[in-house]
Amino acid sequence: MSRVGLRLSGVACVRGGRLLFRGVDLAMEPGGSALLKGPNGIGKSSLIRICAGLLRASAGMVERHGRVALTDERLALDMEQPLRAALDFWARLDRATAQALDAALEAMALEPLAQVPVRMLSTGQRKRAALARVIASGAPIWLLDEPGNGLDDAALGLLGDAVAGHLARGGIVVAASHQPLPLVTPVVMAMQDHVAAEEGE
Which residue ranges make up each domain of the chain? 30-45+67-185
Residue 201 has pLDDT above 50, yes or no: no
Quick: pLDDT tens for 151-186. 999 999 999 999 999 999 999 999 998 877 877 677
Handedness of CA 97, 102, 106, 110 (dihedral sign): positive
Residue 198 has pLDDT above 70, yes or no: no
Q: Residue 177's pLDDT is what?
A: 87
Task: Yes or no: say if 121 and 129 are a contact pair by the CB < 8 Å rule.
Answer: yes
Any idea which architecture 30-45+67-185 has in CATH? 3-Layer(aba) Sandwich (3.40)
Q: Give me the mean pLDDT over the 67-94 stretch.
A: 94
Residue 142 has pLDDT above 60, yes or no: yes
Could you tell me the pLDDT band of residue 200, with boundaries at 50, 70 and 90?
very low
Q: Residue 1's pLDDT is what?
A: 44
Could you tell me the pLDDT band of residue 96, with boundaries at 50, 70 and 90?
very high
Q: Residue 189's pLDDT is what?
A: 80
HSE, side-chain direction, 13 A CA sphere, residue 164: 10
Which residue in 143, 110, 155 sits closest to 129, CA to CA? 110
Q: Give me the mean pLDDT over the 67-72 stretch.
A: 95
Q: Give me the mean pLDDT over the 99-128 stretch.
A: 96
| CA distance readout (Å), 138 to 14, 61, 101, 152, 171 | 32, 25, 10, 25, 10
**Count of residues making up the chain:** 201
| pTM for the full predicted model | 0.91
